[in-house]
Each structure stands twice: as structure tokens, then as C-alpha cells.
Amino acid sequence: MARYTRNEAREWAREHLVGVANVTIPTMTSDFRRINEKAVRHDVELAIEHGFVGSLSCSEVAITQAQYGEFCAIMADQAAGRLVIVHHAVFNTLEDNIEAIRLAEAGGADLVLLGYPPYFYPKSYDEVFEYTKAICAATNLGVMVFPLPAWGFSRLHPADIPLPVLRRMVDEIPNVVAIKAEGGLPYIMSAIEVHREFHEEVVISSPLEYEYVPLAQVMDIPFCGTNYSAYYGPLLPRIHKLIRAGEYDQATQLWYKMDPARKAFASLPIAANGLLNRMLWKYQAWLQGYNGGPMPHPTQRVYQRDMTVLRKGLEAAGLNPTSDPDEAFFVGRHPV
């Protein structure tokens, strides 16, 4: 149940979406039949310890809606208001997504990250707007809209969701509270445009750390997430605090310090054909103390060559990856 009313959603977002949000990926028991509650609680607690203010309850994995609802509820229970739990609204159909958003809200999620299903093929932005409006109408939670090339909307406009459509969403849907500005990647024009137009009305998130750290030094960007920053341990929340304090030189030096790890991450096939390799993300987080462990098939895989690259990137950046052998990742830190 939302901790705020629909009319309070934007005010709530202004207060709580200040910081960095990572991603929590579900872990299964060793027989792959159930959510591993101990593992989920471990990951939430470590995210809080690392200084994150929020975490996405990742749904782009092969679990049922009922399991996903349980996963959200465990995250919210462990967080106990100390971490913003973000529902990941990317299921198969509008109807499935409405059901999932209700499960997530009932389980204690605080915010919705709105994606679009692979078989949603709009012929116009009116269809995109109507889909977005229907999702938002099904919940009292605040919604973060998410322009992104992966949705396939760039065939309609290079910004993926152009400014007039976002304007309509912000004006007509009161629980649109934030925009995750990744439209038009790899270029930053859409992110600049979105900030210029909307930053006084809704929260703008710059989720890509290599963009966030420089851009936030010349414009007010309160939120960085949701993203893969568990790979860097507590470093990105620390950088965020430096930027908010105006300590730009220190933040910049830490950004340079991250460079070997950043380049290691960028060198791997993370997002082939629009689907992120969540198993690889899970390994990245495991290197910094998160649980790791079983994910259900079908899933993309992580190979030794990739694990070596990611580990060496952290070592070169002085970011202290675990000394545990890579084979331990496949078991996890809290096997059940």
C-alpha cells in the first residue's frame, strides 16, 4: 500500500528520490522452485549498508507473477522504509502488468518503473500514451516513465518518447512523478531536453553513472537510478553525496578512479537485442558482497572469460572485489 496519496505522489518523490538506486535480482532456492528469502534479505540489507536509497525489484527473469509478488514483499519487509522499493513493470501484456502492479503495491513497493512489453508495437504515440495512462490508473503509486531505445519506439522518433508525449503524460497523469532519462541513447540530447523541460515539475533521473557524474556538476540531478551500480559497491552513493555537497573535484577524481571497472563493464555484451544479461549483473553485484546464486532458466549466461574481465576491472580500480572463487557465485552466499 502506498505511503502517500496520488495527489501527494510528486511531493513524496521530491523528498525520497535523492540518491542512487541499484537493482536487486531474485535468487532462487537450490532446487529452483522457490524464492530464496535469506538471499533477498541479504541483498536488501547490503544495499542499505552501501548507501543506496532505492532498489529495483527486477522482473526481467523467469519467475511467475506470484513469485515476483513474494519477492517484492520480502524486499519491502526487509527494507522497512529504509530503502525505496521500485516495482519493475515489464510483463507480457497490459493485463499482466496491471495485475503485477497490484501485487507489488500490496507487497509494499513504493514506486513503479514503467517499461513496455516486447510485443507492444504501437503505430503512434497516442497508443504509448494510452498504455502509460492505463498502467498509472491501476495504481496509487508514483510512476517513473522511461524513454529507452529497447522499447523500439525510435522508429517513431529518435528520442524514443519525445517531449510533446512526455508533456502530455506529466500534464494529464498526476502520479507520473519522475522520468528516467535514457531516450535517444547513445546520445545525450534527449536527457538534456528532458531535464530542461521537466526538472521543476518531476524528478529527473540520470541513471548511467558515466553521464550522471559529469552532468550533475552543471545541472541539478537529484536521482541516479535504477542501475548496475552494485558493481562499484558503495562508491557511486559516495560520489552522489560529494556532488550534492558541491565537492565536484573529489567526485571527478573518483569518477576517474572507476575507469578500469567502467571499461571492463562496457567491454562485455550486456544488452544484446534489448535484453539485459541479468545473470552477468548478478555476478557483478556478487563481486561486491551481494548474494549471487541461482537464477531460473531460461537466462542468459555468464562465462569465465567475462567473470575474469569484470573482476580484473574492479581490481585495477582499487574497488576490492571478493576473494571468493568464482565457482561460489553459482551457489550463492545464503544457499537454501
Check residue 270 and give its pLDDT: 87
What does the pLDDT average to over 16-31? 98
Domain for residue 290, yes or no?
Answer: no
The torsion defined by the Cα of 219, 191, 92 and 153, in degrees rounded to 10, comes to 170
Q: For the segment 184-213, what is each residue's pLDDT rounded down to a tens digit?
A: 999 999 999 999 999 999 999 999 999 999
Contact assessment for residue 222 and residue 212, using Cβ atoms and an 8 Å cutoff: no
Instruction: Provide the pLDDT confidence category of residue 152 given band limits of 50, 70 and 90.
Output: very high
Burial 236-271 (b: 16+ CB within 10 A, else e): bbbbbebbeeeeeeebbebbebbebbbebbeebebe
Check residue 304 and give its pLDDT: 98
The DSSP bridge partners found for residue 157 are none
- Residue 181 scores a pLDDT above 90: yes
Closest-CA residue to 223 (of 190, 255, 257, 181): 181
Domain for residue 274, yes or no?
Answer: no
Domain for residue 115, yes or no?
Answer: yes
Check residue 283 and give its pLDDT: 98
Instruction: Provide the pLDDT confidence category of residue 225 given band limits of 50, 70 and 90.
Output: very high
Check residue 123 and give its pLDDT: 98
Domain for residue 305, yes or no?
Answer: no
Q: At 29, which CATH number?
A: 3.20.20.70
Domain for residue 211, yes or no?
Answer: yes
Q: Which of 129-143, 260-274, 289-303 has the lowest mean pLDDT?
A: 260-274
What does the pLDDT average to over 303-317? 98
Q: For the segment 265-289, what is each residue's pLDDT rounded down to a tens digit?
A: 999 988 877 889 999 999 999 999 9
Domain for residue 326, yes or no?
Answer: no
Domain limits for position 200: 6-256
Domain for residue 310, yes or no?
Answer: no
How many structural domains compose the chain?
1
Contact assessment for residue 162 and residue 125, using Cβ atoms and an 8 Å cutoff: yes
Domain for residue 163, yes or no?
Answer: yes
Check residue 275 and give its pLDDT: 86
The DSSP bridge partners found for residue 20 are 224
Check residue 327 and give its pLDDT: 98
Eight-state DSSP code of residue 221: -
Q: For the segment 234-253, what is each residue's pLDDT rounded down to a tens digit?
A: 999 999 999 999 999 999 99
